[in-house]
A and B are shown apart, each in its own frame.
Chain A
Amino acid sequence: MAEIKNLSVLEAVMGKLNLLGARLIPAEKLPGGQALVLSKDKLIEGMTVLKQEAGFTQLSYLTAVDWMEKRKEFELLYFLHALSAAQRLCVKVSVDRDQPNVLSVSQIWPAANWYERELYDLFGIRFQNHPDLRRILMPDDWVGHPLRKDYPLTEEPVHFLERTAPRLPSELIPKKYAVVTAQNPAAPPAVPAAKPATADAAKDKPVA
Chain B
Amino acid sequence: MNEDFLTEEVIKRRALISRVKIHSFQTLFAVLLIGSWQLLTDRKILDPFFYGKPSGVWTQLVTWVEHGTAIGSLWVNAWVTLYEATYGFLSGVFLGIIFGIFLGRNKTAADIFAPYIKVSNSIPRVVLGSIFTIWLGLGSISKVALAFVLVFFPVFFNAFQGTREADAKLIANARLLGATNGQVTRRVVIPSALSWITASMHVSFGFALIGAIVGEFLGAQRGLGLLIATAQGTFNPNGVYAAMLIIAIMALTAEWLITQLENRLLNWRPSQVSGLEL
Whether A associates with B in a native complex is no
